[in-house]
Structure 1
Amino acid sequence: MNSNNSPMDPETFRSFGRQIYGHEIWIGDVFREGNEICAYALYGHKMVPDKPMPTDYANPVLYDDDGRVEDPDREIVKNPHGWKLSFEDKGADVYTLYVGSKSVWVTDEEGWHRGVKRDFSQVKHSGAYVMTAKRIISKDGANPGSVMHAELELMPSRAKLKVGEDLRLTAYYEGKPLPNHKVLCYCHAAEDIQFVNTDDKGALCYPVKEKGDYIFIVKHSDESKKVDDEFDDTSFTTTLTLETE
């Protein structure tokens, strides 16, 4: 293997490598501390946190009613093991919080490595991986706002779920509905996973049966998003966390 990349610390290498094999980032509990709104940004699988992604390789973004605002503060915490994000509540009806990560990985005869295709020999595959976590913080619990920051998006019909009612959720790619596409729907309380397909308008209906947190995960690969000497395609993963009233 030949590489011109500078050495990567083991924690960064581990975190990005796990991304390829089914891990996600998501935004967990939302709570208040005085006049600040706080949330945990977590990394793991099936809503079980692993270790935090390295700070330099993932970035939080915040929107209010009028558009993008100053990025939230962040610090690494141990319980839960992840990031704690915080920002001042300035009275917006809806805040939309994102955490995003982008990286390029190659696979060769020796395994997988972070870096672009031109820096390695005998590459079997090289891909760009874009991970996004989303959380909507709504004053009335109903209004989900209309922010779509990511290339691959999930937009719910309401910001908080109601037990006994169906959630209507729409998937978008580059601002257009994503029809006939699989979405993973996970109920934390019941540890129940369902795969639900969107209809021809990119929407699905999901019955909410338990109180607690739900996570919705959509994945999409685009072979047109490539750079010849860097990566063959781009894979997107977006997670949306919602909670019941």
Structure 2
Amino acid sequence: MPLQHAVATPDTTLTATPAALSQALDQVQQAEARLHQRRRQVTLAFMGLQTAYCGYLMLKWMWQGHYIGGPIYAVLLWCLLWLLYYPVAVLWYPRQRALDKAWRTLDATRMEQGKAFLASQALGPYRWVCRGGRMLAVFPDSRVLYVLAPEVGERHALMDAPQVVKQVRVDEQAVTSSTTKTTTKHGWRNVYAFSNHFGMIGGGKSRSTSTTTHNTVRSFTLHVQLQSAGQHPYWLQLPFAADWQEARNWQLLIEQASTR
């Protein structure tokens, strides 16, 4: 497949955005616009009803002689009514689901277009990965890096790795949550009976035990800093969730391909 050079520098070759990918991007933008429009309409309608109701009550209370308390209670009620805004969010859930579907379609289209482009290149064997809406591939023998991501305008980018790659690292993020469970055990109580109708219950003993469980979730992100000739440097980030080994493998692969 011949390359249609949109931008060509000694170290980077960019092609035009694939038609199928452009169509998927347009669908995402349209879904986002519809979601924002729906959310704005619902929010304005909610605020209008909320303000009208609180204004009516304020005038009613002031008519009844509550010149100070009426406005205060109306403002407090106006603030409390915002709690009802969260259930109102179900009115734009269909638009949210449509947007999520459009994003999934975009990711699938990006991966399909990237795999087809890589298969058309005569640069030797390669490895590719698609994470976080970004596709990255490495041709170890040719020492070429391939990127298809928003950072390069959703275009196929073939880069001379030794010249373009500036830094590669894997960052770790840890989130710790704690859960405390308290168990109380009650001991026996003594009963003292003075007669059939009168007695006394002695004091018992209770023992409480608290157990705190700490759960730490770690995630790893591959960061690749790239800079083409005459361009500003930028970072490409690919999340690998808890798979530290895979993120580290890709770091080593890119470092080997970019070694001068």
TM-score tier by shorter-chain length is under 0.3
Q: Which has the larger radius of gyration?
A: 2
- Write 1 or 2 for the structure with the bigger share of helix: 2
Q: With structure 2 as the length reference, what TM-score do the two structures score?
A: 0.20
Q: With structure 1 as the length reference, what TM-score do the two structures score?
A: 0.21
- Write 1 or 2 for the structure with the bigger share of strand: 1
